[in-house]
Amino acid sequence: MTRLARTVGLTDVQTEILATVRAFVDREIIPVAQKLEHSDTYPADIVERMKEIGLFGITIPEEYGGLGESLLTYALVVEEIARGWMSVSGVINTHFIVAHMIAGHGTDAQKAHYLPKMATGEIRGSFSMSEPDLGSDVAAIKTRATRAGDGYTIDGAKMWLTNGSTSNLTAVLVKTDLGQDKPHKNLTTFLIDKPEGTGEVLPGLTIPGRIDKMGYKGVDTTEALFDGFRIGADAILGGEPGRGFAHMMDGIEVGRVNVAARACGIALRAFELAIGYAQQRSTFGKPIAEHQAIAFKLAEMATKIEAAHLMMVNAARAKDSGERNDVIAGMAKMLASEYCAEVTQEAFRIHGGFGYSKEAEIERLMREAPFLLIGEGTSEIQKTIISKGLLREYRL
């Protein structure tokens, strides 16, 4: 067999892109990831190199200066990057989701204004649905945009903005009073241009300092506080209020494929570290890889990685084909994130006491893997989505 997590049926272009990214990860990310992660340092040099090789525009249509590649290509790129350091994949993930929403739902003027600069990385995106008092209950959003003359005034607080202080474009889902009977029909997405940095970056918009996290270091995670923030009606994604929920759900569907890809990348790196260590470390006169207890662990880890990778690829291809993919994306995200946590923990156990040292790369992966159990919806939320889809398809 070939090595794990290989994908059949790729084009020559996809194969070339992945080879370029894999070499970039091995040469420029893995050697510095430990140092940057432990110091919680934003990977500025790596980000500049990603701009140069076109990763910020990988899915943006060619007419706007991007590569025009598929979600599958992007997901496989993310898998490779997360194998090196998950935080780097976080830098481009929210950017990708915002670009995807603009390309699919933006007005012609919004596409022409944002997408060419997003393709080069000059404009980098972040987005937020969550708030301090809510997570997955999107219909309960409290941050409100009130009509004021020819624009709107926004008041409230948004939470968990990845790249909140390093992005200069933020897509924010807020409540607009449109008198609709269903709460989600009263939600609108605003595209907010802002400077990088923290503090009061614009009148009425404050980006507090970074949230200190257990893992997922280097990439910044912030809140966004709105107090009488004024914005024009032309900043509404698509130009029409009340469609924000559908816009964000489209973004989240591709985001769940992305999280599944990140989980596959971390699990693959954990396996690489474990199988390497197991051949170097000896006990009772032979490498521990030759002890059945360890060999069986490696077999189970590899099988889980392969299963998660195949499901992630299937979900990406479904989205690329135009099919509804909420169920398969939910399945992929749930399985990959759960398997990632299990594979990483088994790799940690194989490392023994050394794995508990901050010198060991597996120590970092142990702190990163749990984030994927939460990001883009917990496993319980995925089960809700999956079960509703199954009942819809198998209704008596």
Question: Beta-carbon neighbour count of residue 122 at 10 Å?
Answer: 11
Both tokens assigned to 123: 């404009």
Both tokens assigned to 318: 């479904």
Give whole-number Cα distances, 239 to 34, 172, 205, 243, 245, in Å. Answer: 44, 14, 22, 9, 14
Q: Is 16 one of the catalytic residues?
A: no
CA atoms within 13 A on the CB side of 324: 10
The amino acid sitting at 171 is: A
How many angstroms separate the CA atoms of 152 and 76, rounded?
A: 40
Residue 304: enclosing H or E segment and its boundaries?
A: helix 292-320
How many angstroms separate the CA atoms of 84 and 331, rounded?
A: 24
Q: Phi and psi at residue 103, in whole multiples of 5°?
A: -65, -35
How many angstroms separate the CA atoms of 107 and 81, rounded?
A: 32
Cβ atoms of residues 269 and 277 within 8 Å = no
Both tokens assigned to 261: 């890809």
How many angstroms separate the CA atoms of 209 and 207, rounded?
A: 7
The amino acid sitting at 100 is: H
What single string gives the DSSP state of each residue in 311-347? HHHHHHHHHHTT---HHHHHHHHHHHHHHHHHHHHHH
Which of 253, 338, 363, 376 is the catalytic position?
Answer: 376
Beta strands in the chain (DSSP E): 125-128, 144-148, 151-162, 169-176, 187-193, 199-202, 205-207, 221-232, 282-283, 286-287
Residue 60: enclosing H or E segment and its boundaries?
A: none
The amino acid sitting at 9 is: G
Residues annotated catalytic, as ranges: 376
